Amino acid sequence: MTFSGISTQLSRDVEQIEHSLRQWFPSQAFVKAAKIQHYPILPEEQALVANAVSSRQHEFATGRWLSRQGLQSFGLPDQPIKMGRLRNPLWPESVTGTISHDGELCAVVLMQKHQHCEAGIGIDLVSLPQRVGRMDELAPMFLANTDELSAMAAFNLAVDPALLLFSVKESVVKAMSFQLDDFIDMRAIEIYHAGKLRFRISGNAVSADIVAATTGNYLITAIKVR
C-alpha cells in the first residue's frame, strides 16, 4: 500500500469517526479526531509524560492538543488538562469530556455541563487490524458472564464480540470516572440486553446510552451516562 493510500484511508477513518460521534452527541458538543503526532502541549502537561516512551508522549500530546481546542471553542482560557489518580483527564468544573486513542488516531468529545444532562461520557477507539484475533485469551480478565458476548449481537456489527465487549467496557470506565474512587475490575461491569443494551456495576444498574460503529479500520464505542 502506498503512503498516499494510507493517508487517504486515515482521512476517511477520521471523517467517519467524527460523523459517528456527531450523530451520537448533541450538536453543541466539541468533536474532533486527528492523526497521532507530537503536537505542542503546555509544560504542565508535558511533565505528566516526561518519562514515557515517545509513542505514549505522542498519544498524550494529541489528546491534550485536541481537548484544549475544545475548551477554547467554549470560550474558556487556554489551560493545562492535568491527570487524575485514575489517569483520567481533569476537566474544568463546567466541562465533561473523554479522550481515546489507538493505532494512528485519537478522538475527543467535550460538552459543557450546563447545556446537557449527561453525568459522564466515554468513548473508546480500537484499531481493528491491530486487535482482531487477540481477545480470546484476555476475555477471562473482563468477562462478567457469557451472556455478555451474546448481547453484543444487538449492535449488528461484523466485529469479534469479545473485542466489542472490551471496548464498550472501556467506554463505561471513562464515562464513570467522575465517581470512581479506584480502578475497577472490568468483571464488575455487566453489559446486558433488556429492551436495549444496558450496564450495571457490582449489581447496580446505571442509566445510560450505549452505541457503537465501525469505519474502515476502526471500531468506536460510546457511553452517555444520564
User: Cβ neighbours of residue 218 under 8 Å, at least 6 residues apart?
Assistant: 13, 16, 17, 102, 103, 105, 125, 126, 127, 128
Instruction: Enter the C-alpha cell of residue 122.
Output: 466515554
Residue 116 marked as a ligand binder? no
Burial letters 152-165, b for 16+ CB under 10 A, else e: beebeeebbbbbbb
| Backbone dihedral region for residue 122 (phi beyond 0: left; psi -120 to 50: alpha; all else: beta) | beta
Residue 121 marked as a ligand binder? no
- What is d(CA 205, CA 31) in angstroms, rounded to the nearest whole number? 28
Residue 174 marked as a ligand binder? yes
Residue list for the binding site: 56, 64, 100-101, 123, 170, 174
Residue list for the binding site for Mg(2+): 123
Residue list for the binding site for CoA: 56, 64, 100-101, 170, 174
